């Protein structure tokens, strides 16, 4: 009986650790606070792939996803002209610049609802991931990956042959080499 009672107290105590804090309060402090390291975190670091040394281990999907995030959703004229300069420096013609921006914006339009749904699931449950929630998040993740795959496959239909080659070279030679990718 006593053990059950202690069990319950401990369970309630641990559950309380996961709730009751405000995310916004922590965000402002997060980048300036001193670094803390747990043994578990050290273990996690071992699974990071540094594209500078192993670009061949970075999946295309991962690299294109980051590139689309970089290019998409430019709201101000300044932001839009700035990313056009970036894409022009890949070697793109103006037509291909427009096409790649359209592709990235399509990624954003299709992935944003998934982002929002995931955010709602996570924030609504204050980080407590039940198996059901995990399944939901995994399904969203799969949908996102399918969108990226579809867009990458559609590149030859959206860009000129030269544009496709230049983009592939850019992704392989530049994007992947600057990525750090942490596996599950």
Partner 1 sequence: MLLKLKLTRILEAPMAKTISTCKLTISHRTRSRMFLRFLGLITLLAVLSMPAFSQTDYSDSWLDDSNPDSLYVVGAGVTDNDYSADAIAVETTLTSPNGRTVTGEADDYGSARVEVALPWDWDDLGDYYVHTIHQPLCWGNWDGSMIYEVRSGGHYYWHWNPDYFRCIERRETSLLSKAGASRASYDFTSQNFCCCTYHIIPNCHVRCGPPEVSRGQVSACAAHIVRVEPWFEVYGRTVCVSSGVLFRDADAGAPPCTEEQY
Name residues contacting partner 1, limited to 10-69 (CB under 8 A). Answer: 10-11, 14, 17-18, 21, 23, 26-27, 29-31, 33-41, 43-45, 48, 62, 65-66, 69
Does 119 bind partner 1 (CB under 8 A)? Our answer is: yes
One of 56, 132, 161, 184 touching partner 1 (CB under 8 A): 184
**Backbone dihedral region for residue 60 (phi beyond 0: left; psi -120 to 50: alpha; all else: beta):** alpha
One of 93, 110, 122, 172 touching partner 1 (CB under 8 A): 122
One of 53, 75, 130, 132 touching partner 1 (CB under 8 A): 130
Helix (H) or strand (E) holding 48: strand 48-50
One of 103, 111, 147, 167 touching partner 1 (CB under 8 A): 111
Does 84 bind partner 1 (CB under 8 A)? Our answer is: yes
Handedness of CA 48, 50, 53, 54 (dihedral sign): positive
3-class DSSP assignment, residue 49: strand
| 44 CB-side CA count, 13 A | 8
For residue 74, how far is the Cα from the chain centroid? Answer: 17
Does 147 bind partner 1 (CB under 8 A)? Our answer is: no
Does 118 bind partner 1 (CB under 8 A)? Our answer is: yes
Does 98 bind partner 1 (CB under 8 A)? Our answer is: no
State the minimum distance, in angstroms, from the CB of residue 69 to partner 1: 5
- At 116, list the tokens: 């929002």
Nearer to partner 1, 70 or 95 (CB): 70
Neighbour tally for 125: CB within 10 Å: 13
- Do residues 117 and 99 touch, judged by C-beta distance below 8 A? no
């Amino acid at each position: 009986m006593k053990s059950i009672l202690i069990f319950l107290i401990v369970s309630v105590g641990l559950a309380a650790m996961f709730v009751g804090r405000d995310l916004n309060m922590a965000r402002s402090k997060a980048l300036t606070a001193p670094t803390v390291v747990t043994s578990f975190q050290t273990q996690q670091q071992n699974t990071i792939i540094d594209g500078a040394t192993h670009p061949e281990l970075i999946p295309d999907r991962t690299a294109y996803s980051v590139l689309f995030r970089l290019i998409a959703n430019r709201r101000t004229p300044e932001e839009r002209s700035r990313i056009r300069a970036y894409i022009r420096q890949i070697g793109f013609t103006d037509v291909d610049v427009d096409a790649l921006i359209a592709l990235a914006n399509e990624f954003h339009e299709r992935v944003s609802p998934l982002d929002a749904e995931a955010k709602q699931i996570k924030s609504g449950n204050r980080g407590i991931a039940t198996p059901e929630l995990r399944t939901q998040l995994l399904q969203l993740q799969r949908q996102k990956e399918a969108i990226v795959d579809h867009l990458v496959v559609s590149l030859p239909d959206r860009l000129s042959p030269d544009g496709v080659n230049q983009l592939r070279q850019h992704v392989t030679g530049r994007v992947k080499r600057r990525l750090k990718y942490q596996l599950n």
